[in-house]
Amino acid sequence: MAAQQYSFYGVLMLNGKKETAISYRLDFTETDGIITGTSTTDLTGKHETKNVISGTYNPETRMFSFVEKDIIYTKSPLEKEVFCFVRHNSKIRLAAKNAKLEGKFQGYYRNKQPCINGTLTLIGTPTVQKLLQLAEKKIEKSKELDAATKAQFKPQILFDSLQTQQLTTGENLNIFLESESVTFTIWDKNKEDGDVVTLKHNEKIILADFMVKNKPHQIKVDLSAGENVFTIEALNEGSLSPNTAMIILEGGRKIEFQSNLKKGEKATLKGRNILVA
């Protein structure tokens, strides 16, 4: 059977309490009952974290299960050992247009000891799109909002912005890779507007005064022993503010993000637990 791709959006509620709700997203592929993919917690928040997930799905019994296995990246300053990884089992018809994942989850530290439990409620992309269309109709009919405000807060545009990790000034993105080198691919996925960036590795310039084009540019970087710090600086904002270079970092794992910087602003990626002798 061909692989099927799914995305679900919703919240985790620690101890099942609404006031502890944390945004949560699952992106996965189901192939012959095997689930592989990622989870993202606290989308766009200061503790946003992306994990590897794996699991199983039985279309006959509709039993679905997954477990978070490891961290790909996090904005949180917390050490890896104190992260709580989610496990979940429930019944769902994945192919249904109104597919919904809900029920209890269990949390476990890396050493398999239990941490916090709670509940999750997630809805599939078709349902999300329906809700976005309804919200957009309500906004368009509103007489209290002007045209500029309606355009700025279009639900579909706001939703699309969640699909790519945004890297803003002062943020540290801690990445967990398993490689002796990484490859950066950088480009402008929208209109070329003259965005210029400088990229550094451990304070050494590896890409200087680079104007971002629609055509992707690649650069391979050998990693150092210990911590590897990458800094991206916006030298301008092009003709369309802010500076929005798309970057894919690959080194055993693949991380895609977009700069969201004003002129002179910087954002940092810190490579941790990388396998370098």
Q: What is the pLDDT of residue 258?
A: 86
State which residues of the chain have pLDDT below 70.
Answer: 1, 78, 131-137, 139-141, 143-164, 272-277
Determine if the pTM surpasses 0.85: no
Three-state SS for the chain is CCCEEEEEEEEEEECCCHHHEEEEEEEEEEECCEEEEEEEECCCCCCCEEEEEEEEEECCCCEEEEEEEEEEEECCCCCHHHCCEEEEEEECCCCCCCCEEEEEEEEECCCCCECCCEEEEEEEHHHHHHHHHHHHHHHHHCCCCCHHHHHHCCHHHHHHHCCCEEEECCCEEEEECCCCEEEEEEECCCCCCCCEEEEEECCEEEEEEEECCCCCEEEEEECCCCCEEEEEEECCCCCCCCECCEEEEECCCEEEEEEEECCCCEEEEEEECCCCC
What is the domain partition of the chain in residue ranges? 4-125, 128-159, 164-272
Q: What is the pLDDT of residue 153?
A: 55
Q: What is the pLDDT of residue 31?
A: 96
For domain 164-272, the CATH architecture is Sandwich (2.60)
Q: What is the pLDDT of residue 277?
A: 36
For domain 4-125, the CATH architecture is Beta Barrel (2.40)
Q: What is the pLDDT of residues 189-217, one digit of tens each?
A: 888 899 999 999 999 999 999 999 999 99
